[in-house]
Amino acid sequence: QESRVLMLSDQARSDANPILLIDENDVTAGHAASIGQVDPEDMYYLMSRGLDKATAERLVVRGFLGSVIVEIPVKE
């Protein structure tokens, strides 16, 4: 299991507690947690291409959430 957290402000708080639920005895498992802020170099790159700060931050957040967003079922 993996927990990923993207902090979007200096006042943001998070608890990342990856939990492994294992029913078998002969299983190899691992877990991880990562917490970070938007990379200033990513923001600089996007803003140097003409994007305003809010749009650049939205793109970074969307990229961070991309693997989750594609798994959400959408009724057509």
- Tell me the per-residue pLDDT of 9-59, one tens digit each, with 9 for 90 and over: 778 777 666 666 666 776 666 656 666 778 889 899 999 999 999 999 899
pLDDT score recorded for residue 73: 87
Phi, psi (degrees; rounded to nearest 5) at 21: -110, 105
Asked if the model's pLDDT at residue 74 lies above 80, the reply is yes
What range defines the domain where residue 57 resides? 38-76
Q: What is the pTM of this model?
A: 0.57
Same domain, 5 and 25: yes
Same domain, 29 and 50: no
pLDDT score recorded for residue 54: 93
Whole-angstrom Cα distance, residue 20 to residue 13? 23
Same domain, 42 and 76: yes
Q: What is the mean pLDDT of residues 66-73?
A: 82
Instruction: Show the beta-strand stretches assigned E in 1-76.
Output: 2-7, 32-37
pLDDT score recorded for residue 72: 84
